[in-house]
């Protein structure tokens, strides 16, 4: 079962792709775990989780009592003694929110300083990510923070594949190339591109040429229906049949290549 991290420049469509992929896997009867690794978490809405339910979600990094119970130290307590291998294997069952067959976990903000601090909450999140990557039974779709700075924190370490979402435009391409370089250092086996918000063949060709030799898994067309769904707080899943078919093709190519 593939474990995929989705990254790219801000606003390109990472969360839209993550939400649609996760819903498609669930609809196909595949056990899927959607991980929101963006501190500005909004994968729930892309999955179609009603706002009231999404509002009750507590990010793992903010579960202070659980973190203390598992690591033996209070979150934020640097330099204290704590377990470096906390028990995490029951966390997905305990804390994932279930919606239409997708299980969603929200990681929350950690290590904003970027110094890789060894505080209890970071140790717990790292242990959890490692556990998820090696769990055979689940497909994992991780929606990441925009840009490249956070990649140094290693949240995506050892995922099977990184999908970099690219809009037609030089800046988005530049970020994608940087992500691809950093992904290799994280031990991510494969790096793929998905073109997003494309309007026609000229833009498809632009993306293919600019990201070469990175393989392009497929393209998501610009969709007025998806933009409209976002305005109304609805999931992009099920709002545009053509986009649905495009994401399905992306999914099949991912399974064939990852």
Ligand X SMILES: Nc1ncnc2c1ncn2[C@@H]1O[C@H](COP(=O)(O)OP(=O)(O)OP(=O)(O)O)[C@@H](O)[C@H]1O
**Among candidate residues 10, 5, 4, 47, the one with its CA nearest the CA of residue 167:** 10
Question: Under the criterion CB under 6 A, does residue 150 sit at the interface with ligand X?
Answer: no
Q: Which of 223, 235, 254, 258 binds ligand X (CB under 6 A)?
A: 223
**Which partner, Mg ion, ligand X, none, binds residue 10 by CB below 5 to 8 Å per kind?**
ligand X
Nearest to ligand X of 231, 256 (CB atom): 231
Least CB distance to ligand X at residue 196 (A): 6
Among the listed residues 2, 4, 15, 166, the single contact to Mg ion using CB under 5 A: 15
The CA angle 159-234-150, to the nearest 5 degrees, is: 30
Residues 123, 129 contacting (CB under 8 angstroms): no
CB of 70 or CB of 150, closer to Mg ion:
150
> CB-based burial of residue 234 (10 Å sphere; 0-12 exposed, 13-18 middle, 19+ buried)?
middle
The structure tokens 């031990």 sit at 187
Interface residue with ligand X, options 45, 172, 196, 239 (CB under 6 A):
196
The answer to the question of residue 14 lying near ligand X (CB under 6 A) is yes
Beta strands in the chain (DSSP E): 3-8, 32-36, 97-99, 102-106, 139-143, 161-166, 190-198, 216-221
Residue 196 interacts with Mg ion (CB under 5 A)? no
User: Which residues form the interface with ligand X (CB under 6 A)?
Assistant: 10-16, 38, 146, 196-197, 220, 222-223, 226-227, 230
Q: Which stretches of the chain bind Mg ion, using CB under 5 A?
A: 14-15
């Amino acid at each position: 079962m593939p474990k995929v991290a989705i990254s790219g420049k801000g606003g390109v469509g990472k969360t839209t792709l993550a939400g649609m992929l996760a819903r498609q896997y669930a609809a196909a009867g595949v056990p899927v775990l959607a991980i929101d690794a963006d501190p500005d978490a909004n994968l729930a809405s892309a999955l179609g989780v009603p706002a009231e339910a999404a509002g009750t979600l507590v990010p793992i990094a903010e579960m202070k009592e659980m973190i203390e119970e598992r690591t033996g130290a209070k979150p934020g307590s640097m330099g204290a003694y704590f377990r470096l291998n906390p028990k995490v294997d029951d966390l997905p069952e305990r804390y994932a929110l279930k919606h239409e067959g997708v299980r969603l976990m929200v990681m929350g903000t950690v290590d904003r300083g970027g110094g890789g601090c060894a505080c209890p909450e970071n140790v717990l999140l790292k242990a959890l990510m490692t556990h998820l990557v090696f769990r055979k039974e689940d497909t994992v779709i991780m929606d990441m923070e925009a840009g490249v700075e956070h990649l140094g924190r290693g949240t995506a370490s050892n995922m099977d594949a990184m999908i970099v979402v690219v809009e037609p435009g030089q800046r988005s391409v530049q970020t994608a190339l940087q992500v691809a370089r950093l992904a290799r250092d994280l031990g991510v086996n494969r790096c793929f591109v998905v073109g997003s918000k494309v309007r026609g063949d000229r833009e498809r060709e632009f993306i293919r040429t600019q990201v070469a030799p990175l393989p392009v898994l497929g393209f998501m067309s610009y969709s007025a229906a998806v933009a409209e769904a976002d305005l109304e707080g609805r999931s992009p899943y099920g709002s545009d049949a053509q986009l649905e078919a495009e994401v399905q093709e992306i999914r099949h190519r991912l399974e064939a290549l990852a």
